[in-house]
Amino acid sequence: MYSNAYDCRSVKPLSELFKLLAEPNRLKILCSLGLECRPVSDIIEATGLSQTNVSFHLRALREAGLVRPDRRGAFIYYCLPDPELLRLLGDFRGWMEDHGNSNDDAPQKKKASRR
């Protein structure tokens, strides 16, 4: 057993977070923000999603505390509340690359079958 094993009594919040992040459009939105605050129009342009779709996902991300709205005059800019979130997403991506699961858009490599 690992000395830094995750406390299994509190898996439900982590499970809910992963469920929220399992939606690819939400990950696109988070990645489009980067370390800058951006208005919805920039998020729409960066992701290629409709305004309705972006607003829907921003609401879910905001309710989970993964984005923070910042009103600037007539516009609302969205920001990551903590840049650590980008590092964590990058760490997950790196782990996937290390384990051969880096690109879900590419055709899956077929493993050579043993005969």
Indicate whether 107 belongs to any domain.
Answer: no
Indicate whether 83 belongs to any domain.
Answer: yes
pLDDT band, residue 66 (cuts 50/70/90): very high
Indicate whether 52 belongs to any domain.
Answer: yes
Indicate whether 9 belongs to any domain.
Answer: no
Indicate whether 33 belongs to any domain.
Answer: yes
pLDDT band, residue 40 (cuts 50/70/90): very high
Q: What share of the chain is helix, strand, coil (3-state, %, to 5)?
A: 50, 10, 35
Which residues, 6+ apart, have CB-to-CB distance to 36 below 8 Å?
79
Domain count, the chain: 1
Indicate whether 30 belongs to any domain.
Answer: yes
Q: How far apart are CA 4 and CA 81, in angstroms?
A: 26
**What pTM was estimated for this model as a whole?**
0.76
For 18-35, the pLDDT digits (tens) are 999 999 999 999 999 988
Q: Which residues pair with 70 in a beta bridge?
A: 77
Indicate whether 112 belongs to any domain.
Answer: no
Indicate whether 19 belongs to any domain.
Answer: yes
Q: 29 lies in which domain range?
A: 14-98
Higher per-residue confidence, 106 vs 63: 63
